[in-house]
Structure 1
Amino acid sequence: MLFHPMDFLILIAFGLSIWAQFKVKGNFKKWSEVETKSRLTGAEVARRILDNNGLHHVPVEPIPGTLTDHYDPTVCVVRLSEPVYYSSSIASVSVAAHEVGHAIQHKESYGALTLRHKMFPMVNLTSGIAPFLLLGGFLFQSFSLIGLGIIFFSAAVAFQVITLPVEFNASTRAKNLMLSEGIIWNDEKHGVNKVLGAAALTYVAAALISVLELLKYILIFFQGTREEDN
């Protein structure tokens, strides 16, 4: 079967993912033009929140690119894209605070983040092998290969799903910390929600695509094994 019924749902999820990417870029651009009343840059916001949470040892570094911001748990560094690092816009402080949220999660050994870190080496391996196992299984009509591919692919899907609470929690921390520390005012929350909400939607879409693809492979596997038995 060239087109599986699940493919329609996967296409919808893929469309959602593309739309989410446009929303991220659009909201970031829009709220990058609105300066916060505190006039603090992304770098200053990150440094203040880190210091106030006992993370004086975690440096904040600028990196090239746009939306390349991340927290590196292997060396405990918050890296902010240059537009975020140097700007005092609502978009910049939102992204900076979100990445610091991950640093605080790391400090507190937040469960989902800890599990994600432990899974990463395994997922890095299985996600590379799974497509070849699935492709080989479909080409040679080998359901044992497909089954093994499903097991390997399941690890990558689990990683995507576990990423959701990690990202949502980091955004919630960012909003609460920025308000409590006077980095944003109440009337600036709308912009923060727009920026972080759009980013969260990209993770939801990615997880949804992965889950639907996994369900598709599982359905094909069980359908094929039933036909073999008959």
Structure 2
Amino acid sequence: MLFPYGFYGFDPTIIILIPTIVFTLYAQSKVKSNFAKYLKVNTHRGYSGVQVARSLLDEAGLQDIPIELAKGHLSDHYDPRNRVLRLSQEVYNRSSIASVSVSAHEVGHAIQHARGYIPLTVRNLIFPLARFGSSAAWFFIIGGLLIPNQPGLLDIGILLFGAAVLFQVITLPVEFNASSRALRLLNTNQFIMDDEERGARRVLRAAALTYVAAMAAGIAQLLRLLVLRNRR
């Protein structure tokens, strides 16, 4: 945390972050609980996550995109640079509602990439700057706060951090669109039945909530930095 009075006393601007901290904890608990719940509920059709992903990719004309097994929990993602879809073991091998929902979501990203979905294209373009900004911003911010006669350092840090926040904002429509595509694909291809759609929707909505929380936390932190700058 940043303390504008050296490193002494209480920084009142921390209050700006408290609601988003609570919201982030709530979002994380929702995604974990919903994923764990529906990971135990198998679909009636019995297709595994990798089978669903392969079928949907092939249907979309993306036969050249391989599916790889990823390490870790909830590590599922589509890699646009290498055009590879990676699924965690619990999604790859299992035929649960959570597994097919997550795999279809990642296929949604692959289809976005193939179709030139504009928000995804913009997000990919600013990703290098956002990655640099999220890691480098704090060196400038802390330097600007500790060295009063160098206000430009704080301004540079805020600009870099703003690039990372912009990335989070653009991520929202990308994620919501991928989830919408996933539900539509699962229903159209009858990988889930009508009574299973509610569970799939809950899994995808809970995952999307984490991105909303990340964006809210980023905006709150940016607002806090602007307050600190104006105080200077």
TM-score bin, normalised by smaller chain = over 0.9
Question: CA shift at 1:5, angstroms?
Answer: 4.9
- Mean alpha-carbon deviation: is it higher for 12-21 or for 107-116? 12-21
Contact 2:16 2:224 (8 Å CA) reproduced: no
Q: Deviations over 1:31-83 (max 9, x none)?
A: 01111111100000000110111101011111222101000111111100001
1:208 to 216, 221, 230: 216
> What is the letter of the counterpart of residue 70 of structure 2?
I
Q: Deviations over 1:86-126 (max 9, x none)?
A: 00000000000000000000001111110111111122222
| Structure 2 counterparts to residues 102-121 of structure 1, below 5 A | 102-121=109-128
How far the C-alpha of 1:3 sits from its partner, in A, is: 4.7
- SS of alignment partner, residue 37 of structure 2: helix
The answer to whether residue 31 in structure 2 is matched with residue 35 in structure 1 is: no
Tell me the TM-score normalised to structure 1 length.
0.93
The CA deviation at 1:133 is 0.3
CA distance in 1, matches of 2:169, 2:121: 14
Q: CA RMSD in A?
A: 1.3
Aligned residue runs from structure 1 range 175-194, under 5 A: 175-194=183-202
Map of 2:70 onto structure 1: 63
In the alignment, the residues of structure 2 paired with residue 172 and residue 184 of structure 1 have an alpha-carbon distance, to the nearest angstrom, of 14
Which letter does structure 1 place at the counterpart of 2:107? V
Structure 2 CA distance for aligned equivalents of residues 95 and 119 of structure 1: 25
SS at structure 1 position matched to 2:17? helix
1:47 aligned partner: 54
- Aligned: 1:19 with 2:26: yes
Structure 2 unaligned segments of length 5 or more: list them.
Answer: none
Partner of residue 147, structure 1: 155
- Alignment of 1:219 with 2:212, yes or no, is no
Whether the 8 Å CA contact 2:17–2:217 is kept in 1: the answer is yes
Deviation at 1:138, TM superposition (A): 0.6
Letter in 2 for 1:52: E
For the 8 Å contact 1:6–1:212, the answer to whether it is kept is no
Is the 8 Å Cα contact of residues 45 and 96 (structure 1) preserved in structure 2? yes
With normalisation by structure 2, the TM-score equals: 0.93
Q: Distance in 2 between matches of 1:186 and 1:121?
A: 41
Runs of 5+ in structure 1 lacking a partner? 225-230
Q: Secondary structure at the match of 1:40?
A: coil
Q: Which residue in the other structure is 1:133 paired with? A: 140
Instruction: Name the residue aligned to 1:227.
Output: none
- Offset, 1:18: 1.6
Which amino acid in 2 is paired with 1:88?
S
Q: Which segments of structure 1 move beyond 6 Å, counting only runs of 4 or more?
A: none
